[in-house]
């Protein structure tokens, strides 16, 4: 059994690394073959060593198979858990999408002008859901792609802007500019105040949903009224800007002549004083009042 080691001179060699490498290779070869390469003499201890080598090789092989089987079972269990989690997530996602689509349909129903764009909106919403993008069902407009959003804003806001006397004769391009780039959506809770009588008026407001009470508290001129869908308030702000020979001082805003208090939840578009000034600073030539002038900034 040890004839190879004796003949190779490994036993008598003083090269320690050589001995270690040879012994390691010899043990690995015989363990991996379960001792089948060992040729023993009739000597009892030599045979016992060969038997021990065979048993050790077999035990190591069985241990390896056991570990491999455990790993395969663990991997299969992990994949099954992931599949279940994915299935649960997909079910939850479908439920969430269904609920959000219902709310989006309600949002469209609250805005009659959106009915004409319903197919476009739902198509974009479906595409976003397919791409696993999140969307606010209460206000999906701000999540839509820019081109689609601008198209819908123009459709929603052009009729509102055309009801304002100062804007009625403006070009469609000018009104689209206001609709898409300078109007912003605002929300007010029930019973909240939008502006009080005597406070600076900093926005032209277009109501798209809800009811707003308006009233004055002056003893000599007590008046009450209400604003509903498609009504607007704050035209004095436009007059303040349009009737000024140059950009007016934002610290000198006109004052509100009425108090506005929400009777219900209110959705609206607001054209703020800052946005009006910024718009005219950049695009004064688009508006008929200033088209014949060299500048509006003097």
Task: Report domain 172-286's class.
Answer: mainly beta
What does the pLDDT read at residue 113?
A: 83
What does the pLDDT read at residue 247?
A: 67
Angle, CA of 138, 140 and 145, to the nearest 5°: 170
CA-wise closest residue to 188 among 270, 108, 268: 268
* Tokens representing residue 221 in the block: 């001129």
Query: For the chain, what are the domain ranges?
Result: 3-70, 172-286
What's the whole-model pTM score?
0.66
SS3 209: strand
* Tokens representing residue 167 in the block: 């804007």
What does the pLDDT read at residue 298?
A: 46
Strand duo 193-195 + 184-188: pairing: unpaired
Alpha helices in 1-132 (DSSP H): 3-7, 16-32, 44-110, 118-130
Taking the CA atoms of the chain, what radius of gyration do you get in angstroms? 41
Dist. CA 184–CA 229, nearest whole Å = 16
| pLDDT < 70 regions, the chain | 1-16, 18, 22, 24-25, 27-32, 34-41, 43, 46, 245-248, 288-298
Q: Count CA within 13 A, CB hemisphere, residue 289.
A: 15
Give per-residue pLDDT as tens, 32-89.
Answer: 676 666 666 676 776 777 777 778 877 888 888 888 999 999 999 999 999 999 999 8
Give per-residue pLDDT as tens, 240-264.
Answer: 888 776 666 777 889 999 999 999 9
Dist. CA 228–CA 9, nearest whole Å = 107
Q: CB 170: neighbour CB atoms within 10 A?
A: 18
């Amino acid at each position: 059994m040890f004839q190879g080691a004796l003949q190779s001179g490994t036993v008598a060699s003083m090269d320690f690394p050589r001995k270690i490498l040879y012994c390691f290779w010899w043990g690995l070869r015989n363990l991996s073959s379960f001792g089948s390469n060992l040729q023993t003499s009739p000597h009892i201890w030599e045979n016992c060593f060969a038997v021990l080598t065979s048993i050790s090789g077999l035990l190591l092989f069985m241990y390896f198979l056991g570990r491999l089987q455990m790993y395969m079972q663990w991997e299969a269990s992990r994949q099954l858990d992931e599949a279940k989690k994915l299935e649960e997530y997909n079910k939850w996602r479908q439920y969430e999408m269904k609920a959000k689509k219902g709310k989006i349909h309600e949002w469209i129903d609250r805005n009659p002008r959106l009915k004409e764009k319903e197919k476009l909106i739902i198509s974009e919403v479906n595409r976003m859901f397919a791409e696993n993008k999140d969307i606010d069902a209460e206000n999906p407009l701000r999540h839509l792609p820019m081109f689609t959003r601008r198209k819908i804003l123009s459709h929603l806001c052009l009729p509102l802007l055309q009801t304002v006397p100062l804007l009625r004769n403006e070009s469609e391009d000018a009104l689209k500019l206001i609709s898409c780039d300078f109007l912003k959506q605002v929300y007010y809770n029930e019973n909240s105040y939008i502006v009080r009588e005597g406070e600076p008026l900093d926005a032209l407001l277009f109501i798209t949903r809800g009811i707003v009470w308006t009233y004055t508290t002056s003893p000599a001129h007590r008046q009450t009224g209400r604003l509903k869908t498609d009504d607007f308030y704050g035209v004095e702000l436009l007059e303040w800007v349009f009737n000024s020979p140059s950009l007016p001082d934002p610290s000198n805003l006109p004052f509100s002549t009425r108090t506005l208090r929400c009777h219900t939840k209110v959705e609206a578009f607001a054209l703020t004083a800052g946005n009006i000034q910024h718009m005219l600073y950049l695009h004064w030539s688009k508006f008929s009042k200033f088209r014949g002038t060299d500048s509006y900034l003097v």
